[in-house]
Amino acid sequence: MELKHVSELVGAGKDIESAYWELVVKDIQDTCKLLEPIYNETDGEDGHVSLAVSPKLANDTKGTIEAAKWLHNMVGSPCVYMKIPATDESISSMKEVISLGISVNATLIFCLPKYEAVIDAYLDGLESCGMTDLSKVSSAAAFYISRVDVTLDKKLEQIGTAEALDLKGKGAVAQAVLAYQLYQKKFSGPRWERLENRGAKKQRLMWASTNVKNPSYPDTFYVNSVIGPDTISTFLVQALQAFMDHGILSRTLDAKVSEAQDMYNAIEKLGIDWSSVGSELEHEVLDSFTKSFDNVLECMQKKAMSIYSFQKHV
């Protein structure tokens, strides 16, 4: 972002958040132009750019809908995704946004029940969409991995039994494997086939938080463990470099499904509630997103006013 531009916007009477969105929309438009050739070459399968609605709207269904509509209209590109967090209130907004023909990146998914609700919102939205051809509407569902293990491992350590400690570092991948099974189930059968006949695309699973947070785990552990068709993996630069150097490119996501189910059940039998873990992480990460958003606005305000004040005295 150009701080001089920020100061000009503020000097022209815009409030700092309006200035922020004007700059963000311009950045997203520029990025969309770079990726539109990929979007066109792949018939909309790839080449998407995500633009997050304000995290402050996470618990405001109507506000999220209006923000998504406004931002989508402002960017004006077919390859933009509206990034919406999977809170209960925002999942309700996803159906409406999808029904309007707006593509969505559903983020902050930490547990299977929430993931299923996200899929249902996508399917409901497609079914409610008045467009005859649904091929231009798509979605991704960002399912978090390593953050889940951080929380689970702490709970397993608190339990402290040999069985509990043996399950450390296994829960997040087990849940991801089951998420992929759910994906395959929901995007098959008569209901999906009716939508597919209208040109609908499957909502792709997108693995988020694939970087290893526990240094005792191999640095490619999560990336290696969730490789499978129709999925997207997000990487930090360090994780990508590690995988390029010594990662194993092999279909692992559905290689040990029954084992994953056993691990998932074993964690549950120890008294750990998966939905509660998901809710805990959702609030934690959403709070960090909101603080980051506020910090950016505060920094922009200080810098813009400093530059504007300096220019007035030159």
* pLDDT tens-place values along the chain, 314 residues long: 444 566 666 656 678 898 899 999 999 999 999 999 999 999 999 999 999 999 999 999 999 999 999 999 999 999 999 999 999 999 999 999 999 999 999 999 999 999 999 999 999 999 999 999 999 999 999 999 999 999 999 999 999 999 999 999 999 999 999 999 999 999 999 999 999 999 999 999 999 999 999 999 999 999 999 999 999 999 899 889 999 999 999 999 999 999 999 999 999 999 999 999 999 999 999 999 999 999 999 988 887 767 655 455 44
User: CB of 90 within 8 A of CB of 62?
Assistant: no
Please tell me whether the overall predicted TM-score, pTM, comes out greater than 0.85 for this model: yes
- Among the listed residues 33, 62, 83, 256, the single catalytic one is 83
Is 83 a known active-site residue? Answer: yes
Q: How far apart are CA 64 and CA 105, in angstroms?
A: 13
pLDDT at 2: 47
Query: Superfamily for 3-312?
Result: Aldolase class I (3.20.20.70)
Tell me the one-letter amino acid at 79.
C
Q: Which residue has the tokens 């991801």?
A: 176
For residue 98, CA distances in Å to 68, 72, 75, 143, 188 come to 10, 12, 17, 19, 19
Q: Element (H or E) spanning 5, and its range?
A: helix 3-11
Tokens representing 268 are 């549950």
Q: How many CB atoms lie within 10 A of CB 153?
A: 21
Strand segments (E) across the chain: 49-52, 80-85, 104-109, 139-144, 204-208, 231-233
* DSSP alpha helix (H) spans, 59-170: 61-75, 88-99, 112-128, 146-159, 162-166
Q: How far apart are CA 138 and CA 178, in angstroms?
A: 22
pLDDT at 214: 93
pLDDT at 135: 95
